Amino acid sequence: MTQHIPVVENILNANDRLAQANRARIEAAGVFSINILASPGAGKTSLIEKTLPLLKGKLRVAAIDGDIATSIDSDRAAAAGAGAAVQINTGGTCHLDAVMLNGALEQLDLTQFDLLIVENVGNLICPANFKLGTHKTVLVASIPEGDDKPYKYPGTYRGVDVLIINKIDLLPYVDFRMDYFTQGVQALNPGIVTFPMSCRTGEGVDAWVDWLVGNVHR
């Protein structure tokens, strides 16, 4: 009888166990944490840049930015006012995992912060498979990506807690059927918390910031 060796399952289990440890560590420090997912260029870093100035004086924020190369994102987070900004360079790996987040947490004194923002690698597929231990997962969709993305990337749309629809200022210039997009989202993730937004014009950012503040003070 052939022996079944569930390697992939074990890797994920190991990741999930470490994600639980990350969560315990984050909660022990009284921090609320989010994991931001998106395609390349949907606006994860721009979202952080728009969010941080509005949190000044309200919340102390640490940012952890994942990328396969460069420190562009953590530099932008630091410039926007993050109290600490840690860059994870994955060296080619297409997602963050709980081990990487664990290593980044080692570099932070979490007790000095209220909110931890983790920016994942730009990828609409793989990051959804690896829990990090954060409280909420936030997906940034963007108008110019097109209205068929929920249908084509169902795993990611199904598994997130919050949806930001970014770049709504481009709606007049592209072919995007909001009803078709929304229908796809609702089929996969009914009632998901949604924020239409433009990180370029600032429209819709306030409601998102209120949501963050509300979660920290819950």
Q: Using CB under 8 A as the criterion, which residues of the chain lie in contact with its own copies when the complex forms?
A: 39-41, 67-70, 72, 92, 94, 121-126, 142, 144-146, 148-149, 151-155, 167, 169-170, 173-175, 200
Query: Smallest gap, in angstroms, from Cβ of residue 12 to its own copies?
Result: 13
Report which of 150, 161, 165, 162 is spatially closest to residue 203, judged by C-alpha positions. Answer: 165
Q: Cα separation of 64 and 50, whole Å?
A: 16
Whether the Cβ atoms of residue 38 and residue 66 lie closer than 8 Å to each other: no
Query: Smallest gap, in angstroms, from Cβ of residue 131 to its own copies?
Result: 16
Query: Smallest gap, in angstroms, from Cβ of residue 29 to its own copies?
Result: 30
Strands, DSSP E only, in the chain?
Answer: 32-38, 61-67, 84-89, 115-119, 136-142, 162-166, 193-196
* SS3 label, residue 62: strand
Q: Which residue, 61 or 167, is less far from its own copies as judged by CB? A: 167
Query: Smallest gap, in angstroms, from Cβ of residue 46 to its own copies?
Result: 8
Query: Smallest gap, in angstroms, from Cβ of residue 178 to its own copies?
Result: 15
Q: Which residue, 1 or 8, is less far from its own copies as judged by CB? A: 8
Report which of 45, 36, 38, 35 is spatially closest to residue 124, judged by C-alpha positions. Answer: 38
Q: Which residue, 126 or 213, is less far from its own copies as judged by CB? A: 126
Q: What is the largest CA-CA distance in the chain?
A: 64
Query: Smallest gap, in angstroms, from Cβ of residue 28 to its own copies?
Result: 33
* Pair of tokens at residue 196: 């239409």
DSSP state of 216: H
Q: Which residue, 87 or 134, is less far from its own copies as judged by CB? A: 87
* Pair of tokens at residue 111: 């007790």
Q: Which residue, 50 or 149, is less far from its own copies as judged by CB? A: 149
Q: How far is Cα of residue 174 from the mean position of the Cα atoms in its chain?
A: 25
Q: Cα separation of 173 and 197, whole Å?
A: 16
Q: Which residue, 22 or 198, is less far from its own copies as judged by CB? A: 198
118 phi/psi in degrees, rounded to 5: -105, 120
